[in-house]
Structure 1
Amino acid sequence: MNNLMFTDTPASRCAYYRRTCGLPAGIHPEAGRIILRAGLVGAITMPAPLGQRVRDDLLHNRITLGPIISHLRSRRWTFLCRPDLPNDMSLFPELLRLNVTLVPPGAEIALPAPIDTRTGHRHWIVAPRDTFRPSGLILLTALRSCTTRGPRC
């Protein structure tokens, strides 16, 4: 019997994201990165230390975590979520003060790809296992909880 070696390629990883995780991912034609366009999937990006506090708050409150991406160079985390956040203009100044961004519909979100293992650009803090993504409203509540209680969320 032949020993077949399976390799993780951008195409195979993209297929996994699409089929197993329900993420409408594609491969950027010029850059070769795996991307997801925000819309059917929402996303909130924040500084890594705040992201760690939000993640810990969710765990402390026994809320199931969804996919979280670490962008190592910018030291930011992106939480993938359901796109159920209100389009409320009063929300933007609050988030701006915290250096938090709601990824707008149509914007590209770079997902961890096989090459990132070697280059260290991005990796999963919590990898997607299925189609589950938490409500953006739950993430916003956890974010507010962490920022009103100070650094020890």
Structure 2
Amino acid sequence: MTDPTPPVPFGDTPDTRCIFYRRVCDLPARLDPPELGRITVRADHIAALVMPSSLAHAVHTDLRHCHRHNAVSALGPVLAHPRSGRWTFLIRPDLPDDTALFTELFRLHIALTHPGTTLPLPSPTDRGAHFRRWIHLPHNPFRPSGHTVLDSLRTCTARTGWLRTPTPGPRP
């Protein structure tokens, strides 16, 4: 399910991975801090939806299958954070800063990044499968509209009844 490491000329180092992210994927990646090899990107001309992995898997599958019939891929870069059990969908920053949307996402345990948020990206210095890894590797600058991912999210939650089961309240 996880895409392989990106093809980077001259070996896969934090520096060459940043170059790949910048030149091929149009992600303004940088080393932060350089001595650790951690790669980050500021959410300025990108945004992200961060959600629980079980829901994200359904959204990923929906985006991959539903849009193949139209020969238009709606699936952009997706990365996993195994230790936290969350996935991040990189999207265009076209969703409104709206209280109703925030409330809807909050109820589903989903975060929408704000401009200026720092996002970590997979790095060759990440050790083991417990760190970030690509689920769908970027191969170009494409990122889907946030509205497209949101529509898929709503379809998946309606179909599966995500979070419709009542949560236990306080005990008497």
1:118 CA displacement = 3.7
1:46 CA displacement = 0.2
CA distance in 1, matches of 2:157, 2:130: 29
Counterparts of 1:120-131 in structure 2, within 5 Å, are 120-131=130-141
1:64 CA displacement = 2.8
Alignment of 1:23 with 2:27, yes or no, is yes
Structure with the larger helix share: 1
Unaligned 5+ segments in structure 2 are 1-8, 68-72, 163-172
Alignment of 1:143 with 2:153, yes or no, is yes
1:6 CA displacement = 3.7
Counterparts of 1:1-153 in structure 2, within 5 Å, are 6-29=10-33, 31-62=36-67, 63-116=73-126, 118=128, 120-150=130-160
TM-score under structure 2 length normalisation: 0.80
TM-score under structure 1 length normalisation: 0.90
* Residues 28-37 or 71-80, more deviating: 28-37
Number of equivalent positions: 148
Q: What does the per-residue CA deviation read over 1:106-127, in whole Å, with 9 as the maximum and x for residues that have no partner? A: 1111000002254630100000
Q: Which amino acid in structure 1 is aligned with residue 37 of structure 2?
A: G
On the 8 A contact 2:40/2:121 being kept in 1, the answer is yes
1:60 CA displacement = 2.3
CA distance in 2, matches of 1:33, 1:123: 13
On the 8 A contact 1:14/1:25 being kept in 2, the answer is yes
For residue 90 of structure 1, give the secondary structure of its aligned residue in structure 2.
Answer: helix
Q: Which amino acid in structure 1 is aligned with residue 11 of structure 2?
A: T
Aligned to 2:166: none
Identity rate of aligned residues, in percent?
A: 49
CA distance in 2, matches of 1:59, 1:118: 27
CA distance in 1, matches of 2:48, 2:95: 10
Over the residues paired in the alignment, what is the CA RMSD in angstroms?
A: 1.8
